[in-house]
Structure 1
Amino acid sequence: MRLTGQPAVKVYRGFGTPTQLTIQGHVLALSPLPQRHYQQRLWTNMVDMLRLFMVRPMAQVEVRLQGTNVMATTDVDGFFRFDWQPAAPLLPGWHPVQVDLIRGSAKEAVVTGTGDVYVPYATQYGFISDIDDTFLISHSATKLKRLRVLLFRNAHGRMPFDGVVRHYQALSLAGTNADQPNPFFYVSSSEWNLYDYLSAFLQKHQLPVGVLMLSQLKRFSQLRQTGQNKHLTKLDRIARILAAYPHHRFVLLGDDTQADPHIYASVVKHHATQIRCVYLRQVGPAKKAEVLATIAPIEAAGIPCCYFKHSAEAMQHSSTIGLI
């Protein structure tokens, strides 16, 4: 099954400002080894997906941000978070970080994990995007169909919606250039188990490199509940991003399969001055009337909202309002 029983420190892409950074990760006693090959075989894909949920977190252990005296203790899920103020301000861009699992009275490092932290450039815009059925075809409205796609197609076998990659690439350069791209945050109800899987998908399809902010780790027995987390935790994560970057104006991108319309309406209600526009993909016709009623207050607040079926419509809207 390519699992390891050796302790592992997973460090996810963090984010922050030149003087305040957030770094997150998990410490696991049992975890899958990194995937090396992608084969379009149903059985292989299923085993590879099952491996991602064969985890055993290490609770109440200490970790230290390497090169500092900043320490944290993992929670019951093995999750840790540092809110770190570097000694000297960091330049915009990606910066490597290392986190040590430490033990004993001497606080010696027993295993180290490596990740990156992002300091955005002083661009005008930032982008917060959902993942499933926003750009990744996932069938989230139907639990069994979503699970079947997740189990039997690997990250390289999954597909984005037609035209969405072109739209996102254009948005990453809205009002700026390739040397100073706009920051992207992918905020999803998918679990941290899928971090590497989703990262591989983003890389495969050349979507903008960004920070993934996912939901609570799940164990193997909870696999059927994947993607069914309490969606209101997304609101908390979005609020943290907005608070970190008060000088950026954000574009929200989501879909109508789950709670995005309600979450984004709430974001606009409390943070209207920071929101440039809202995009919602119409995945099916069933919720159209409900969604239109939900987004009416967004438009009443003077914030453009595009409820679209095809990415070409969204891209045309971005051009019409002068975003790209």
Structure 2
Amino acid sequence: MHSQRLLQVAAITALTSSVFANPIPPREPTDNIPRGSPLVTDEILLLDAPAFKSSEGDQWTASIRMFTHLRQIDSKIFSTALTTAIEALGIEIGNKASNVLERTKLFLAIPRSGIEVDLDIVGCESILTGETSKTGLLEQSIGIGACSGSLKQRVISGSAPGFFKDRQFESLLFPSLPTGFGVVSDVDDTIKVSHVLDTKLKLQAALVDDHVAVDGMPELYSKWDGELGNPAWFYLTGSPYQLYPSLRKFIFDEYPQGPMITKNITYTDIPNLFKYIVDEDVDEILGDYKITQLEKLRSFYPQKKFITIGDSTQADPEAYAEIARRYPDFIQCIFIRKVDGADNRFERFLSAFAGVPASKWTVFTEPSELLRLDVANGRCN
């Protein structure tokens, strides 16, 4: 723990000194630009959205999330400051500089508040969103009508004006019936190698290295996708939305597709961004965050049976167990992957799952241990 703290201090010091050596304009929310529809100077990150049926018959509701910011200009100064700081920690960037720039650019984007966007959803009603907040974020449940066609994913699209043609932005809508199965999966060290317990390797995995799947997890998820009858997939991560584009691509390449739920955290300077990535004291915060998001999913799909899967590095056991105690019929199975170096004491799991039937939860080391289970029929161990 002590060595980890020393590395954190060194990391933040290295980055801060790089910023002083290479000044970067402050990234503060901008309030003196016109509000309303997007401008030619605006860009929009539209996240994939789940859709659920409301209590009014065939009417659907979409949970829309987006981030609006000023169009960014590539900054050589920013690139130099960031790569210098990372390399000062002994992390070799090599030919991965493009990864670093792609994964960090949204952290320093200038948010745009008061922006509302027209969205078209294939087979459903067009919608006008509410206004983005001071931090450029919008999270809103919006009615999208009856929607025609099958329950397959469909495109959500919008546009912002450009000099010569409209600039398009789009995401996917994932509609799912009130009944059936759903799967909630953690990301870091559950399906993606993230080294959450090692500050240096965590930073390297988050910003530099190509994302790598945990061995055996793509095969397990593919099996569940078939056995559970095309369940609704949700990827619930403690990572901030700024990492959404690269994480989304990784998940779509390796796992069943579904919306990813990220944390809404906005930064206005590089040192605070860096401090967040290397911070260890997030277990309780992440636990509360995941409980809140699981409560929200239950409000969308109160009749679904959910499989939840996470790992032992942070608060997944405690968060999933709390939801299982509150809503016994909502959670069918809970699976926790044991990560080397984490608190894997059996006493920890017994305490976390107090009040949850032992038949509902399993702690595993290798995904192959779960392949034999009949999860669809509630065989969780």
TM, length-normalised to structure 1: 0.82
Query: How far has the Cα of 1:150 moved from its partner?
Result: 1.9
CA spacing shift, 1:26–1:71, aligned 2, 3 Å: same
Cα deviations across residues 211-248 of structure 1 (Å, max 9, x unaligned)?
Answer: 10001244352332138563112211111111211221
AA aligned opposite 1:226? I
Whichever structure has more strand as a proportion of its residues is 1
AA aligned opposite 1:189? G
CA distance in 1 between partners of 2:160 and 2:324 (Å): 40
CA distance in 2 between partners of 1:45 and 1:243 (Å): 37
Match of 1:29 among 67, 70, 73: 70
Q: Kindly report which structure 2 residues correspond to 1:154-303, keeping only aligned pairs within 5 A, or say none.
A: 154=210, 158-176=211-229, 181-205=230-254, 207-219=255-267, 221=270, 222-224=272-274, 225-226=276-277, 230-231=285-286, 232-284=288-340, 286-289=342-345, 290-297=347-354, 299-300=356-357, 303=359
Query: How far has the Cα of 1:116 moved from its partner?
Result: 1.9
Unaligned runs of 5+ residues in structure 1 are: 34-38, 103-109
Q: Is the 8 A contact 2:113 2:136 kept in 1?
A: yes
CA distance in 2 between partners of 1:45 and 1:305 (Å): 37
Which shows bigger deviation, 6-15 or 82-91? Answer: 82-91
SS at match of 1:62: coil
Q: Kindly report which structure 2 residues correspond to 1:310-321, keeping only aligned pairs within 5 A, or say none.
A: 310-318=366-374
CA distance in 2 between partners of 1:279 and 1:71 (Å): 37
CA spacing shift, 1:49–1:83, aligned 2, 3 Å: closer
Q: Is the 8 A contact 1:64 1:101 kept in 2?
A: no
Q: Is the 8 A contact 2:52 2:177 kept in 1?
A: no
Query: How far has the Cα of 1:10 moved from its partner?
Result: 1.5
Query: How far has the Cα of 1:64 moved from its partner?
Result: 3.5
SS at match of 2:261: strand
SS at match of 2:133: coil
2:157 is aligned with 1:98:
yes
CA distance in 1 between partners of 2:95 and 2:209 (Å): 8
Match of 2:51 among 5, 10, 16: 16
SS at match of 2:242: helix
AA aligned opposite 1:116? L
Name the counterpart of 1:143: 199
AA aligned opposite 1:213? I
CA distance in 2 between partners of 1:113 and 1:298 (Å): 46
SS at match of 1:265: helix
Which shows bigger deviation, 209-218 or 49-58? Answer: 49-58
CA spacing shift, 1:303–1:273, aligned 2, 3 Å: farther
Q: Is the 8 A contact 2:50 2:175 kept in 1?
A: yes
Query: How far has the Cα of 1:202 moved from its partner?
Result: 1.4
CA distance in 1 between partners of 2:127 and 2:245 (Å): 29
Name the counterpart of 2:27: none
Name the counterpart of 2:131: 73
AA aligned opposite 1:61? I
Q: Is the 8 A contact 1:167 1:311 kept in 2?
A: yes
CA distance in 2 between partners of 1:270 and 1:210 (Å): 25
AA aligned opposite 1:292? F
How large is the RMSD of aligned CA atoms in angstroms?
A: 3.0
CA distance in 2 between partners of 1:79 and 1:101 (Å): 17
Q: Is the 8 A contact 1:127 1:252 kept in 2?
A: yes
AA aligned opposite 2:219? R
AA aligned opposite 1:223? L
Give the number of aligned pairs.
300
Among the aligned pairs, what percent are the same residue? 19
CA spacing shift, 1:286–1:114, aligned 2, 3 Å: closer
Which shows bigger deviation, 130-139 or 219-228? Answer: 219-228
Name the counterpart of 1:36: none
Q: Is the 8 A contact 1:22 1:81 kept in 2?
A: yes
TM, length-normalised to structure 2: 0.70
AA aligned opposite 1:141? L
Name the counterpart of 1:83: 141
AA aligned opposite 2:113? A
AA aligned opposite 2:101? V
Whichever structure has more helix as a proportion of its residues is 2
CA spacing shift, 1:233–1:101, aligned 2, 3 Å: farther
AA aligned opposite 1:53? F
